[in-house]
Structure 1
Amino acid sequence: MNLRAPVASQAPCSLSVALLTLGLALGGCATAPPKTPLVPEVASPAVSSPEACADAAGCREALRDSPRDTLSECEVQRRVELARGACALDVAEGCTELGRWEARGLAKENGPDLVAAAGLFQRACTLGDGEGCALKALMTLRGQGVERDAVAARAALEDACDRFPGSACGLAVQGLAEEALRNGVEPEWEWMALFAQRGCDAGDGLSCRILGEAFYSGRGVAQDADKAAGLYARACEANDGEACARQGMLLRAEGPWAEPRAEQLLSRGCDLGSPEACRLTVLETLDSQGRQKNATDRRALFRHACDRGAALGCLALYDELRNEPPAVRPVFELPGLLKRACLLGAGQACEFLDEVTQAARPRCASGSASACGVLGVLFLSPPLRQGESTEGERLLHAACEGGDLASCKGLSELGGAPADLTCRSR
C-alpha cells in the first residue's frame, strides 16, 4: 500500500497525481470536494499526564510555556488537559484556553460545544481574565452558545477594553469591525484606532498589530509606513506571530541586505503560531531548493510549519517523504499529511483524497483487500473525521485477514506511532 501524490507546485491541479497500491492504480486530478468536512477527532484526555500542573502557579507557568496554536494532535491533547486542570484550580487563563478548545471542537470527541465555551469564557471573566471577557462578548455578538445581543455585546467589549486593556482591546476592535461588516456599514476606524492604541500602550501584541495595520493602510489615522513597521515590531516583541510575519515581509521589500533579519522574523512568527509566517518560511526553503539546510533540518522545518497551520508545510513534508521505501515509512504518515493539508485549505490535497476514496470504495465492496486497506489507512490517519476510527479499524482488520500485508503493518503501528509522528517538532 503506497499512497503517492507528488507535490510539484501550489496550483490546484498542477500536481501530478498518482496512486500506486496493491491492485489499485489511479491518475488525474479530481474536481469534486470531499464529501465530509474534516473535523479532528480528539481522544478524551481522561488519563492523567505528567505534564499536568499541580497548583495554580505551576498552571500559569505551563500555559505560558506550551504552544498555544498547533495542529499537532498530541500537543492539542496535552494543551487541553493542561487547560482543564488549570481551570479546575480557578486559573482564569486556563478557563479561557479551555473555552477556545471547546469552541474549536478539540476538547471533546463530539465536536464544538459553544454553550460550554461561552460558560468557560464567562467564568474566566469572573476570575479576572480580560481575554475571557472579550471572547464572551464576541460570542454574544455572534449569537454563539448564547442569545445574540449586539447592544449588550458592544457594551461588554468596550468594558473589557476599559478594565483589561492589555488583553482585551485588540479583541474588542476585531469584534466591532466584524459587527460593522455584518451590518453593511463602514467601521468606525478612528474610534477603533484609539482602542487599539490603548491596548498597544498596555502591551497587547494584537492591539499593536491592528494599529500597525491602520497606519499601513491609512484607516482611522494618517498613513505612515514607518510607524506601521515600528508597531509591527512592538507586536512581534509582544509575541504576536502575525506581526512578525508582516515585519519580515516589509523588511524583505527593502532588499537583499535585509534578508537575514527577515528570515529571523519569519522563523519567530512561525514559532509563535502564525500560519503565514510558516508558509513563507517553507516557501523560502523550497525556492532555495534546500541549499541552506540538510534533509533532517528541512523535514523538521516542514513538520513544524505543518503543526502550526501551514498547509504548504504539510505538502512539502509529504513531497520529501513520499519516495522513501514503504518498509521504513510509517503507514499513516503520508495520508495524514494530505488530510492535514486538506483541513488547512489545500484544495489539491482534498481533491486527491476524494478521488482515492471514490475509487477504492466500490473495489472494497467487491472484495478487494488492498482497496479496503487503502480506505482503512485513510480513515485512521490523523486528523480524523468524527467516528472514522471504528470504521477504519474494521476495514484494516478485514484487509489484513484478506491477505493485505500493508494493512497488517498498519494495525501493528496503531499502538503509538501516530502520536509520535505528530510530536516530532517539539
Structure 2
Amino acid sequence: MVSQAPCSLSVVLLTLGLALGGCATAPPRTPLAPEAPSPADPSPEVCKDATDCREALRASPRDTLSECEARRRVELARRACALNVAEGCTELGRWETRGLVKAGGVDFAAASGLFLRACTLGDGEGCALKALMTLRGQGEARDAVAARAGLQDACERFPGISCGLAVEGLAEETLREGTAPEWEWMALFAQRGCDAGDGLSCRILGEAFYSGRGVAQDADKAAGLYARACEAGDGEACTRQGMLLRAEGPWAEPRAEQLLSRGCELGSPEACRLTVLETLDSQGRQKNTADRRALYRHACDRGAALGCLALYDELRDEPLALRPVFELPGLLKRACLLGAGQACEFLDEVTQAAQPRCASGSASACGVLGVLFLSPPLRQGESTEGERLLHAACEGGDLASCKGLSELSGASADLTCRSR
C-alpha cells in the first residue's frame, strides 16, 4: 500500500548522502509548476507532409500526457500547423494556453490567433475555442455577445466537439454572471453534437438526463448516453458508466472494472485513480510486477497522483544503480503537482534541510538539491541551477551526482518516449 506520507524518499536521499528526519507539516514555500520547453522551429522529421501530420495527430492521445509525450505533441502540432493542417493549429493553440510552447509560458494572444487560423482552415473545434477565448477575455477584449454567437455558429456549422465546447462555454458564462443556466438550450447543443458522434457532447447530454437538467430525468437514458460517449472515446464517460454499474452490486463488478480500465486508457484521471486503488486493495494479486508498474506509470502519466505514489512505492527499494537518478524524486514532484499535499510537504522539507548543508560545502547535499531541481516536472528556472549544483557536487566527489550528469547528457535531445 502507498504510505500515508512519502517519508521513504529518505532512502533515496540517504543514498545521496543526506540524512533527514521525519516529514514536514508546513505547506511548501514554492509551488510546483511545469517549466516550459524552449521554442523551436518545426522539424520536418516529425511528419513528412500535411497528410502524414494529420494522421500522426489522430493516431495518439493529446491530453494528460507525460512530459516526454507532451514535448513530442507540441513539435508535431507546430509542424502540422506550419503545413496548414487545421487540427494542428488548434492543438498548438491548446498547448499555448498551457504554457508549454515557448519559454515565456502561457501566451493567450498567440493561442487566440492559432484558434482563429484553425477556424479559417475549417476546424470546428478551433472555431469554438476561439469563441471561448473571446468569452473569457483571454488574449483579446471580452465580448460575451460575440462569443455566444461564435459558439452557436461553431456548433451549427461543425456539429461535433464544437457543440460540447459550446455547452461548456454557456455553463461557464452563467457561473460568471450568476444567472440561471439555460439548461434546455445547452441540452439542445449537446444533442446536436452527440448525434454527430462526439463523445464529449454525449457525456454532457448523459449528465443532463441523469440530473434532469433541461430534459426529463431518466437514469437509463443517461447510462445509454454514457455508453455512447465511452465508445466514442470519452474517458470520463467510461468512468461514469463504470461507477453507475458498480452501484448495482457485485454482479456488475467485472464489467465496471473493464469500463474503468478503458476510461483510464482514454486518459480519465479518476478512472486511473480507481483502477490503481483496486489494484492496491487486492495487493496486486491479479497482476504481475511488470503489469502493475505499467498501470501505475500510465495512471501517473494520465494525471492520477495515486499512480505516481504507487509507482514510487514499487521502485523505492531498488538499488540506485538499477534505476535513473531522477525517477523517484520526479514521481513525488508529479504527485505534488497533481494535488498530493503530503508529497509537496515532504519535498519542501527535503529542500529546507539540504540548502544550509549545501551552502556549508556538503557535496552530497548539493547533489540532493540538484537532483530535486532537475527531476521533472521542473519549477520555473530550475534547470540551470540544478545543473550547476550537480556539477559542483560531482566535482566534490558525490558519485550519484556524477551518475545524474551522465544521464542528463544522454537524455533529452530526442523526442522518443520510453516506457518502462
Q: Which residue of 1 aligns with 2:20?
A: 25
Query: CA-to-partner distance for each residue in 1:197-221, whole Å, 9 max, x for gaps?
Result: 1111111111100010111111111
Distance across 2 between alignment mates of 1:388 and 1:414: 14
Displacement of 1:49 in angstroms is 6.9
Q: Which residue of 2 aligns with 1:212?
A: 206
Instruction: Flag the 1:122–1:62 CA change in 2: closer, same or farther, 3 A.
Output: same
Q: Find the residue that maps to 2:21 and give its secondary structure.
A: strand
Distance across 2 between alignment mates of 1:238 and 1:83: 23
Q: Which residue of 1 aligns with 2:353?
A: 359
Q: Which residue of 1 aligns with 2:103?
A: 109
Point out 4+ residue stretches in structure 1 off by more than 3 angstroms.
Answer: 14-18, 43-50, 416-426
One of 237, 256, 267 as aligned partner of 2:261: 267
Aligned letter for 1:213? E
Given that 1:241 and 1:273 are in contact with CA atoms closer than 8 Å, whether structure 2 keeps it comes out as yes
| 1:288 correspondence with 2:282 | yes
Q: Which residue of 2 aligns with 1:8?
A: 3
Distance across 2 between alignment mates of 1:421 and 1:63: 15
Q: Which residue of 1 aligns with 2:225?
A: 231
**Structure 1 portions without partners, runs of 5+:** 1-5
Q: Which residue of 2 aligns with 1:309?
A: 303
Distance across 1 between alignment mates of 2:356 and 2:325: 22
Given that 1:199 and 1:207 are in contact with CA atoms closer than 8 Å, whether structure 2 keeps it comes out as yes
1:399-414 matches, within 5 Å, as 399-414=393-408
Query: Identity of paired residues, percent?
Result: 81
Instruction: Flag the 1:61–1:197 CA change in 2: closer, same or farther, 3 A.
Output: same
Instruction: Flag the 1:49–1:400 CA change in 2: closer, same or farther, 3 A.
Output: farther
Displacement of 1:308 in angstroms is 1.1
Instruction: Flag the 1:334–1:300 CA change in 2: closer, same or farther, 3 A.
Output: same
Aligned letter for 1:149? D
Aligned-pair Cα RMSD in Å: 2.0
| 1:58 correspondence with 2:52 | yes
Displacement of 1:91 in angstroms is 0.9
Distance across 1 between alignment mates of 2:113 and 2:26: 41
Q: Which residue of 2 aligns with 1:250?
A: 244
Q: Find the residue that maps to 1:265 and give its secondary structure.
A: helix
One of 67, 70, 94 as aligned partner of 2:64: 70
Number of aligned residues: 416
In the superposition, the TM-score normalised over structure 1's length comes to 0.93
Aligned letter for 2:26? T
Q: Which residue of 1 aligns with 2:323?
A: 329
Q: Which residue of 1 aligns with 2:374?
A: 380
Given that 1:49 and 1:78 are in contact with CA atoms closer than 8 Å, whether structure 2 keeps it comes out as no
Given that 1:17 and 1:29 are in contact with CA atoms closer than 8 Å, whether structure 2 keeps it comes out as no
Q: Which residue of 2 aligns with 1:186?
A: 180
One of 361, 371, 379 as aligned partner of 2:365: 371
Query: CA-to-partner distance for each residue in 1:263-321, whole Å, 9 max, x for gaps?
Result: 22112211211111111111111111100001111001100111111111111101110
Instruction: Flag the 1:38–1:8 CA change in 2: closer, same or farther, 3 A.
Output: same
Q: Find the residue that maps to 1:25 and give its secondary structure.
A: coil
Displacement of 1:26 in angstroms is 2.4
Q: Which residue of 2 aligns with 1:338?
A: 332
Displacement of 1:118 in angstroms is 0.6
Q: Find the residue that maps to 1:26 and give its secondary structure.
A: coil
Distance across 2 between alignment mates of 1:193 and 1:272: 24
| 1:136 correspondence with 2:148 | no
Aligned letter for 1:380? L
Query: CA-to-partner distance for each residue in 1:346-366, whole Å, 9 max, x for gaps?
Result: 111111111111111121111
Query: CA-to-partner distance for each residue in 1:205-240, whole Å, 9 max, x for gaps?
Result: 111000101111111111111111100011111111
Displacement of 1:37 in angstroms is 3.3
Distance across 1 between alignment mates of 2:166 and 2:145: 14
Query: CA-to-partner distance for each residue in 1:183-204, whole Å, 9 max, x for gaps?
Result: 1122111211111111111111
Displacement of 1:79 in angstroms is 0.7
Q: Which residue of 2 aligns with 1:160?
A: 154
Q: Which residue of 2 aligns with 1:197?
A: 191
Distance across 2 between alignment mates of 1:376 and 1:180: 47
Displacement of 1:33 in angstroms is 2.8
Given that 2:42 and 2:78 are in contact with CA atoms closer than 8 Å, whether structure 1 keeps it comes out as no
One of 267, 292, 297 as aligned partner of 2:291: 297
Distance across 2 between alignment mates of 1:258 and 1:66: 31
Displacement of 1:425 in angstroms is 3.8
Q: Find the residue that maps to 2:26 and give its secondary structure.
A: coil
Q: Find the residue that maps to 1:101 and give its secondary structure.
A: helix
Query: CA-to-partner distance for each residue in 1:366-409, whole Å, 9 max, x for gaps?
Result: 11111111110011111112221110000001111112111111
Displacement of 1:16 in angstroms is 4.5
| 1:84 correspondence with 2:78 | yes
| 1:38 correspondence with 2:33 | yes
Instruction: Flag the 1:422–1:8 CA change in 2: closer, same or farther, 3 A.
Output: farther
Given that 2:77 and 2:91 are in contact with CA atoms closer than 8 Å, whether structure 1 keeps it comes out as yes
Distance across 2 between alignment mates of 1:332 and 1:68: 25
Q: Find the residue that maps to 1:97 and give its secondary structure.
A: helix
Instruction: Flag the 1:208–1:400 CA change in 2: closer, same or farther, 3 A.
Output: same
Aligned letter for 2:37? V
